[in-house]
A and B are shown apart, each in its own frame.
Chain A
Amino acid sequence: MLRKHALLAATLTLLTSFSAAAATTVIVHPSNAAALDEKSVQRIFLGKEKKFSDGVESIPINQVADSAVRGDFDENVLGRSSAQVSAYWSKLVFTGKGVPPKEVSSDADVIELVSKNPSAIGYVDSASVTGDVKAVSLN
C-alpha cells in the first residue's frame, strides 16, 4: 500500500516535471505586429481564421503528433487532446473544407520557417526560442 503511494507520488512528480518541461511558446516572424491572443491563435490553428488581425495571411506550422510540445499546445492552447484535434481536422478534410497545418518534426524547423516567412506562426518549447523569431505572450 505504502509502496503504491510512493509510486503514485513518483509518477505525479514525473508528470509535473514533464509538463513543465514542455511549456510552449507561440512564435511569429519578428516583423509581425499583429495582435494575438489565445483565441486568435486557436482560430488560426483550427483553420477558422486565415489572416492575422492586421490582414496579413497567416500560415500555421504544426509539430508532429507524437511530440511533447504538440501535446502541450493542443491541450493548453487549443483546449483539446491531440486525438480530438485530429478528429476535428478529419471532419474538415473529408468535407473539402480545410487542410490541416503542415507538420514539421522539431523546434529548430519551426524557428527556421517562422524566421523566414512573415506569414508563418508556430510554437516551440519555451527553452528553444531564439532571437530570430518573436515570442508571443498569449495573455
Chain B
Amino acid sequence: MKKVLTISTLALAMSTAANADVRINGFANLIGGITSSDDTLYGYDDNIGFGEESLFAIQVSGDINDRMTATGQLVARGSDDYEVDFEWAYLTYQVTDKVSISAGRLRLPLFRYSASLDVGYSYHWVNAPRAVYDVPFNNLDGVRVDYNTFVGDWEINLQAGAGTYENEIAGGKLEGSNTLVFSAEATYEWFKVRGVYGRSNATLEIPDLAPAFAQMQQVSPELAGFLSLNDDSGTFLGLGVEVDQFDWFVSAEITSIETEESFSPKDVAYYVTAGARINKWTPTLTYESLDGNNDIKGLDIVAGLPAQLQPAGAALAAGVQLPFMEEYDVITAGVRYDYDTNVAFKADVSKYTDDIDESNDATLVRVAVNYVF
C-alpha cells in the first residue's frame, strides 16, 4: 500500500512539475560576411560585417494549464541595431493530441523552414535561400490551427492560418488583411512533400512612388487605380519536396507570388539544395533563382488612352514597375560542422548573378556560429 502511494505521489510530482514549467530557451546566429571588392550583396560589402544577418533571441514559454501554453519570443537583429522586438507572442490550446490552436503573433507556414527560419542551428545553410524565403509577410497576427496525424506510415501535418500582417518594405508600409494560408505536408520516412496556398488583400504605399502615382492620376485614374497596391488580392503558391537518406539529402521548393492588379511584379522563385552528411561535416550545394522580370502591366489601359496621353501613360506605368523587377540566380557552396549538439559552425561562398543588371553581380563569403540552448 505504502509502495503504491509512493509511486502515485512520484507520478503526481512528475506531472505537476511538468505543468508548472516555465521554459527558457534561446538561440543565436553570429554571421559575418565580406563580398568581392566594390560589390554589395544582402547588405554586406567588401569590408567584413557582422550586423546584417546576426541575431540573438530568447524564448519563454509556460504552461498555463494542461492544455494551454503561452510563448513569447524576443529577438534582437543586427539589421535593426540589435533592438529587441517581440516577434512572436501567442497562446496555444491543445484541443486533442492531434489538434492545436494558436492565437497571437505567429509564423505563417509558408515554407519548409518557416517555423525555424531564425534558428540557424535547425538547417544546413548559413541562411535560408533568400530568393524563396525573403518575403515581407512571414509573421501573422491572427490564428493558426495545426493538425497532425499518421495515416499508415505517412505522417500528415495540416496547418491553416488566418489574420493580418504588417511590414516595412521599400520605405513604405505593407499591410495584408484577410490573409488565409493553408499548408499540407506528408512525410514517409525519407520522403517529404508539401504544398501551400495563401491569399491576402495587400496595401502598400511607397513614398518614392507617390509623385509618379499623382501624375498617373492626372493622366488616367483607371491606370493609377489598376497599378496602385490598394486592398488588392494577392496569391501565394508553394510546393516543396525532400529526400533525406541520412547520408545524403536533396530538397527543393518553388513559390509563386502575384498581386495581379498592381505595380508589383509576379515573382517565381525556387531553390534546389543537396548535401552529404559525413560524420560531423555536412557539405552542401544550393542553387536558387528568382524571376520577377515580366511584361509591363497596364499597357492595355494605356492603349485605350487618347493618343497624346499614351507616351506619358506608358512611361509612368513602366516607371513604377521597373524598379521592382528582379531576375537573378545564386549558387552557394557551404559546409556545416556540428561542433556539439547545441553549437554548429558554418561557412559558405555564394555567387550572385543578376540577369537584369550585371553590375550587381557579386561573390559573398560568410562564416557563422549557431547556438541553441
Residue ranges of A at the interface with B (Cβ–Cβ < 8 Å): 39, 43, 48-51, 59, 65-66, 79-88, 90-91, 93-97, 99, 116-119
Per-position 1/0 for B50-68, Cβ under 8 A of A: 0000000101010000000
Q: State the CA gap A58–B340 with chains docked (Å).
A: 28
Closest beta carbon of chain B to A44's beta carbon, Å = 12
Q: Which residues of B contact A49 (CB under 8 A)?
A: 150
Contact of A96 among B102, B119, B122, B344 (CB under 8 A): B102
Mask for B67-111, Cβ within 8 A of A = 1, else 0?
A: 001010100000000000000001010000100101000010000
| A83 with B341, Cβ < 8 A, contacts A94-B73, A117-B10 known | yes
Chain A residues within an 8 Å CB radius of B71: 96
C-alpha gap A118/B237 in the complex (Å): 46
State whether B116 touches A95 (Cβ < 8 A): yes
B residues 1-44 in Cβ contact with A at 8 Å: 6-7, 10-11, 14, 21, 23, 25, 27
User: Would B11 and A96 count as touching, CB distance under 8 A?
Assistant: no
Please determine whether A94 and B97 come into contact, CB atoms closer than 8 angstroms.
no
Task: Pick from B90, B122, B148, B341: contact of A91, CB below 8 A.
Answer: B122
Determine the distance from Cα of A55 to Cα of B118 in the docked complex, in whole angstroms.
36
Partner of B341, one of A39, A65, A116: A65
B146 beta carbon closer than 8 Å to chain A: yes
Quick one: given A50-B97, A87-B122, are A97 and B341 in contact (CB under 8 Å)? no
- The answer to whether A94 touches B116 (Cβ under 8 A) is yes
Report the number of A-B residue pairs with Cβ-Cβ less than 8 Å: 83
Residues of B within 8 A of A65 (CB): 340-342
Which residue numbers of B lie inside 8 Å of A, CB to CB? 6-7, 10-11, 14, 21, 23, 25, 27, 57, 59, 61, 69, 71, 73, 90, 92, 97, 100, 102, 107, 115-116, 118-119, 121-123, 146, 148, 150, 153, 155, 246, 277, 280, 338, 340-342, 344, 372
A83 touching B338 in the complex, CB below 8 Å, given contacts A90-B119, A91-B122: yes
Q: In this complex, what residue of A is CB-closest to B343? A: A83
User: Separation in Å of the B122 CB from the closest CB of chain A?
Assistant: 5
Partner of B116, one of A50, A81, A91: A91
In the bound assembly, the distance between CA atoms of A95 and B196 in angstroms comes to: 18
A117 touching B14, Cβ below 8 Å? yes
| 22 A–B contacts, CB within 8 A, in A order | A39-B153, A43-B150, A51-B97, A59-B14, A79-B246, A82-B341, A83-B280, A83-B338, A83-B340, A87-B121, A87-B123, A90-B121, A90-B122, A91-B115, A91-B116, A93-B23, A94-B25, A96-B61, A96-B90, A96-B92, A116-B7, A117-B7
Complex alpha-carbon distance, A82 and B115, angstroms: 21
B340 / chain A contacts, CB cutoff of 8 Å: 65, 83
Q: How far is the CB of B173 from chain A (nearest CB, A)?
A: 27
In the complex formed, the residue of A with least CB distance to B23 is A99
Q: How far is the CA of A79 from the CA of B190 in the complex (A)?
A: 11
The chain A residue sitting closest to B94, CB to CB, is A50
Contact partners of B148 in chain A: CB under 8 A: 48
A94 and B246 contact, CB distance less than 8 A = no
Q: How far is the CB of B10 from chain A (nearest CB, A)?
A: 5
CB of A119 within 8 A of CB of B11, answer yes
Give the docked Cα–Cα distance between A97 and B69 (Å).
10
Contact residue among B97, B107, B155, B372 (Cβ-Cβ distance under 8 Å from A86): B372
In the complex, what's the smallest C-beta–C-beta distance from A14 to chain B, in angstroms?
A: 15
A94 touches B119 (CB 8 A): yes
Q: Which residues of chain B have C-beta atoms less than 8 A from A79's C-beta?
A: 246
Using A50-B97, A93-B59, A94-B27 as known contacts, say yes or no to A81 and B277 having CB atoms under 8 A apart.
yes
Q: Which residues of A contact B115 (CB under 8 A)?
A: 91, 94-95, 97
Q: In the complex the two chains form, is A117's CB within 8 Å of B11's CB?
A: yes
Given contacts A94-B73, A118-B11, 13 further A-B pairs with CB under 8 A are A49-B150, A66-B341, A83-B340, A86-B372, A87-B122, A91-B115, A94-B118, A94-B119, A95-B115, A96-B61, A96-B69, A96-B92, A116-B7
